[in-house]
Amino acid sequence: MSNNIASGHLPQKEVNHLVRVISTMGLLPILLVIIVAALSIFEPRFLGIFNILNVLRETSFLAILAAGQMLVLIVGGFDLSVGAVVALSSTVMATVMANMLGIMPDDVGLVIFIGVAAGIGCGVVVGLVNGLCVAYLRVSPFMVTLGTLSIASGVALLLTNGIPVYGMPKVFVNGFGRALWLGLPTTVYVALTLVIIVWIIQRFTVLGRYIYAIGGNLQASQVSGVSTKRYLITAYTMCGALAAITGVLLTARVGSGQATLGGDIMMLQSIAAAVIAGVSLRGGIGRVELVTLGALFLSIVTNSMNLVRIDSKIQTIVLGVIVIFAVALEEYGNRRKIRE
């Protein structure tokens, strides 16, 4: 890109064309290529196999979370509670598993099943509450999810007193959470499956079509006979469930249930990944395949900052800057579109 600009003044028409391509595709693919190329040249550790697996694992967590966030953004809302749901599902699952294992030490399979179900169930409940409040009480998504954020993280802390919960079955941690299948972390497969499911929903199903329609124009959808409340609730519930699944995977990886997993940073990251990928904050626009690229981009940025030992406090500052920049870019693109 810098070559282009250096080689002379571009005619206005080409600049417009460039802007249009960027606003439909997003800057992402370009940015990804640049950052990967730069890292490969300047930071040899980036291409180490251990580091790559690490990046993929982080990307997987974030991609699942951001896919849920994207669904809510598309219906024209947003979900601040996802980070807290990660913590809640982590602590609930670990607590359930540890207790169940004491009761039925031989039935490890059942223990894992119930524990995971409990963890995901937490996310479904929080998502459902979010959706019901937005759809029926017409409270703004900001306030509702801020409220459930507070509630979910409060419950998680109450449950654990802030102490990590150990005692999950070893198979679950070593055989799943930390395991590699065919050379890749198990989370990668889970994330890939979920992303493909969301992609299918978006492209091929009535549900996906309605989620776009509601975000595109709520009233028009209502007038067209779409039961908007039902689909609003569905979107929030899916978001909660996906956040809980992220919590389950993270917990399996870490090996203990922790009320500090997820948190504000992951919530911010999930919104950032979606917005970088061109998901509109006004609703109606967003594709999960691009959001996954957004998650990959953010994970690489974080990873590279870790590699060059940038202070984690500074990393959160960088994340904030990226979010604001991405939103500003989206607004700029919008204004160009209207003028055409």
Partner 1 sequence: MYKDSDQVLDAVISSPANTGEEVPSSSILEMRGISKQFPGVLALDNVDFDLRRGEVHILFGENGAGKSTLINVIAGTFPPDKGTFRYDGKDISHLTPHRARVMGISPVFQEFSLIPNLTVEENLFLGRETSTTGFLRKKAMSARAAKVIEMLGFDLDPKKRVSSLSRAHQQMVEIAKALLADVRLLILDEPTASLTENETYKLFELIGRLKADGVGIIYVSHRMREIKEIGDRITVLRDGLKIETCNAADVGENELVELMTGRKIDVLFPKIDHKPAEKLLEINNLTLANHVVENVSIYARAGEITGIAGLVGCGKSELVRAVFGLEALEEGEIIVKGEQISHPRPDISLSKGVCYFPSDRVAEGLALERPIRENASMAALNLTDFSWMRVLKKLNERKLIQGIVDRLKLRPPNIERAVGNLSGGNRQKVMLARGLTRETDIFLFDEPTVGIDVGAKVEVYDLMKELVDNGAAIILVSSELPEVLNLSNRLYVMHRAKLVAELTGDDMTEQAVLSCFFQDEEANSKAGA
Nearest approach, Cβ of 334 to partner 1 (angstroms)? 11
User: Which of 106/340 has CB closer to partner 1?
Assistant: 340
* Binding test (CB under 8 A) with partner 1, winner from 93, 213, 232, 281: 213
Does position 140 interact with partner 1 (CB under 8 A)? The reply is no
284 forms part of the interface with partner 1 (CB under 8 A) = yes
Does 221 interact with partner 1 (rule: CB under 8 A)?
Answer: yes
**Would you give the end-to-end CA distance of the chain in angstroms?**
24
DSSP bridge partners of 185: 180
Q: Which is nearer to partner 1, 136 or 166 (CB)?
A: 136
> From CA 340, how far away is CA 330, in angstroms rounded?
16
Collect contacts of 22-27 with beta carbons under 8 A, ≥24 apart.
22/333, 23/278, 23/333, 23/336, 23/337, 24/278, 25/278, 25/290, 26/276, 26/277, 26/278, 26/290, 26/293, 26/294, 27/276, 27/329
- 207 part of the interface to partner 1, by CB under 8 A: yes
Number of residues engaging partner 1 in binding (CB under 8 A): 24
Does residue 19 bind partner 1 (CB under 8 A)?
no
Is 12 one of the binding residues for partner 1 (CB under 8 A)? no
Interaction between residue 24 and partner 1 (CB under 8 A) = no
Q: Is residue 216 a contact point for partner 1 (CB under 8 A)?
A: yes
C-alpha angle with apex 283: 219 to 270, nearest 5 degrees? 145
What are the beta bridge partners of residue 165?
Answer: 257
Nearer to partner 1, 174 or 227 (CB): 227
**x/- track of binding to partner 1 for residues 176-205 (CB under 8 A):** ----------------------------xx
Instruction: List the one residue from 206, 308, 314, 321 that touches partner 1 (CB under 8 A).
Output: 206
CB distance 246 to 135 below 8 Å: no
Buried b (16+ CB within 10 A) or exposed e, 215-229: bbebeebeeeebebe
Give the integer Cα–Cα distance in Å for 267 and 134: 19
Residue 220 or 318 having the CB closest to partner 1: 220
Report whether 68 contacts 243 (CB < 8 A). yes
Scanning residues 224 to 263, which ones bind partner 1 (CB under 8 A)? Answer: 224-227
Give the residues lining the site for partner 1 (CB under 8 A).
Answer: 204-207, 209, 212-213, 216-217, 219-227, 284-285, 337-340
